[in-house]
């Protein structure tokens, strides 16, 4: 009975170590975005989002991605670039999206400018979107 218990405890310990090891990798990217359609109440897939960083007096593109079926890009910050404090901008290419949907929109793109500090925090930028309005905030 002790052997079975020891094997069981060892298996549980291995599972918890494996699960714990996977978690930091998933949390490593400091930036994610999410787009939700306010008219339909569902996530918005296929919106291109670009990430830029302000360097001196100009914007430098760092990365881009496309929202998935859940309206998310879970890791937008470049994996090979160390996190640097500064002013960043995500640009939601809403005009391209609405053109594909054959709808008009007032906002061809939506830039969201924000400060990011290198404190190991996660920054999540949700966009609540309709053809003629939007809202955003710092999520988690």
84-108 burial code (b ≥16 CB/10 A, e <16):
eeeebbbbbbbeebbeeeeeebebe
Q: Residue 138 annotated as binding?
A: no
Instruction: Tell me the backbone φ, ψ of residue 91, rounded to 5 degrees.
Output: -120, 115
Cβ atoms of 123 and 137 within 8 Å: the answer is no
Q: Give the pair of three-digit tokens for residue 109.
A: 């793109």
Instruction: Tell me the backbone φ, ψ of residue 72, rounded to 5 degrees.
Output: -120, 150
Q: Residue 98 annotated as binding?
A: no
* 119 Cβ contact partners less than 8 Å away, ≥ 6 residues apart: none
Cβ atoms of 69 and 113 within 8 Å: the answer is no
Q: Residue 97 annotated as binding?
A: no
Known binding-site residue numbers for substrate: 34, 72, 137
Known binding-site residue numbers: 34, 72, 137
């Amino acid at each position: 009975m002790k052997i079975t218990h020891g094997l069981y405890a060892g298996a549980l310990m291995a599972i918890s170590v494996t699960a714990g090891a996977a978690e930091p990798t998933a949390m490593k990217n400091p930036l994610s975005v999410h787009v939700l359609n306010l008219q339909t109440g569902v996530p918005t897939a296929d919106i291109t989002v670009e990430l830029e960083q302000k360097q001196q007096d100009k914007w430098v593109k760092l990365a881009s991605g496309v929202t998935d079926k859940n309206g998310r890009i879970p890791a937008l910050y470049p994996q090979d670039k160390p996190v640097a404090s500064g002013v960043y901008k995500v640009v939601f290419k809403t005009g391209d999206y609405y053109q594909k949907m054959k709808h008009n929109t007032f906002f061809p793109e939506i830039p969201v400018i924000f400060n990011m500090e290198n404190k190991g925090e996660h920054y999540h930028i949700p966009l609540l979107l309709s053809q003629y309005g939007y809202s955003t905030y710092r999520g988690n």
